[in-house]
Amino acid sequence: MSPESKAGKGNETPGNLDAFQELLAAMRRDFVGEIPDKCFAFEEKILQLEKNPGDLEAFNELYRGVHSLKGSGGTYGLSILTSICHQLENLLTEARNRNVLGSEFATKAFAHVDLIRQVALKQTDFEVIESKLEALRRLTLQNRKSVLIVDSSRLMTDLYRKSLDKLPLQLNFMDSGLAALGRLLHEPFDLVIVGRELKELGGVAMMAALRLSQIRQREIPAILVSSKGGGIPEQAGFTANILRDQYLADNLQSVVKKILKL
Amino acid sequence: MGTLSKVMYVEDEPDIQAVAKLALEMVGGYTVKICSSGDEALREAVAFAPDMILLDVMMPGMDGPTTLKALRELPDLANTPVAFMTAKVQPQEVAQYKALGALDVIAKPFDPMNLANQVRAIWESGGK
């Protein structure tokens, strides 16, 4: 895109765009150069937590550091870093909530930090790192499957939760089809459950876009929950269509069990 | 309709501060004041007299919504357009931020090349 086409109206100075891009690249290099130090600091905190799982200060510092790196990584366009940090954040939150910040936690946390370090070393071609991240995710999930539920109604969200609560699943809720599509780009799931009417992008359009994309998860099984049958374009490739009626909770549970072989 | 020239950005992350400042100055041509906390924003806002304020939502100490409420109590800042910057852009949250008096929400991570244009579009939507 030419600098002119990027510039808006008013008092912009388009000639600065190239200079800005160069500066941005230099700042990104500095940022990447500092990652190993950050990793070292994370590892120290993890070691402290391993020795003393009740060390709230160490936990908070580690969490803040990871959260901050997640934000900065995104700002510098390193979405792989955002994905790793997001998964590490989840690991931290879950370990704290279940009160298991001991050695098993530490091993997994160290493995995530190691991936962060590899991003700094490699900087391009993140496929190997992505698959290692996926392996770590599986390890953390143990036998659970990860499900992305996209629905904009709170009532429906509660119903999904009740219907699926007893199954070995990790449930993730979102209410925007567009945001869900973005998340599927970076985060692997085993199943998607979508409502028809969603904020920003409807469930059918969201799935059609996913199926037509080059996203690794474009073939993920998907369930559509809607108040009417039919009228669903083939491109959306739904594995199942469940009606929003009084049998929804039971139907959903049995379809999810069947698809995920639970 | 006035001109958008002075932008205040309240953000605690140094990396994001640096990128946003450059993006707003070099791409947008704005005069930018960065504040690292809500407290600092309250101290600096009247003197800087921004045309628009960008507020990070999650900050240690005073968060974005609390900062907005406090800013609104300053007569000079009672009507200055404000946008929140956050990774949480769920519809209920966006509605909540707008109810607090923000014009709009900019999703994080933002695109550095496009941030200045986003800010301008929001400012123009406020009809200033």
- Interchain pair A75, B108: CB under 8 A: yes
CB of B122 closer than 8 Å to CB of B104: yes
- Residues in chain B within 8 Å Cβ distance of A17: 26-27, 113
To the nearest whole angstrom, how far is the Cα of A200 from the nearest Cα of chain B?
9
Distance CA B82, CA B55 (A): 7
The whole-angstrom distance between residue A13's C-alpha and the CA centroid of its chain comes to 36
Q: In the sheet that B6-10 helps form, which strands lie side by side, from edge to edge?
A: B31-35, B6-10, B52-56, B82-86, B104-107
Give this complex's ipTM. 0.79
- Helix locations, chain B, DSSP H: 14-22, 38-48, 64-72, 91-99, 115-125
Q: How confident is the model at residue B72 (pLDDT cuts 50, 70, 90)?
A: very high
CB of B49 closer than 8 Å to CB of B6: yes
- Interchain pair A71, B109: CB under 8 A: yes
**The residue type at A68:** S
User: Which residue is it, tokens 């939507």?
Assistant: B125
Search chain B and give the residue with CA nearest A20. B26
Cβ neighbours of residue A181 closer than 8 Å, sequence gap 6 or more: A201, A206, A209, A210
Mutate to test the interface with B, among A6, A13, A69, A75 (most CBs of B within 10 A): A75
Interface of A with B (CB under 8 A): 6-13, 16-17, 19-21, 23-24, 27, 31, 68, 71-76, 82, 152, 174-176, 179, 199
pLDDT digits (tens, 9 = 90+) for A25-73: 999 999 999 999 999 999 999 999 999 998 999 999 999 999 889 888 9
**Token pair belonging to A155:** 């009532």
CB of B83 closer than 8 Å to CB of B103: yes
Search chain B and give the residue with CA nearest A24. B19
User: Which residue is it, tokens 């998964």?
Assistant: A87
pLDDT in tens, chain A (262 residues): 444 444 444 444 556 788 888 889 999 999 999 999 999 999 999 999 999 998 999 999 999 999 889 888 988 988 889 889 989 998 998 888 878 888 888 999 999 999 999 998 876 677 888 888 888 888 888 778 999 999 988 888 889 999 998 899 988 888 889 889 988 887 889 999 999 888 888 999 999 999 988 877 889 999 999 987 777 888 889 999 999 888 999 999 999 999 999 8
Cβ neighbours of residue A164 closer than 8 Å, sequence gap 6 or more: A147, A171, A252, A253, A256
Whole-prediction pTM: 0.71
Search chain B and give the residue with CA nearest A68. B13
Mutate to test the interface with A, among B5, B6, B9, B15 (most CBs of A within 10 A): B15
- Interchain pair B113, A6: CB under 8 A: yes
Which candidate from A20, A68, A73 shows the least CB-CB separation from B26?
A20
User: Which residue is it, tokens 């941005």?
Assistant: A24
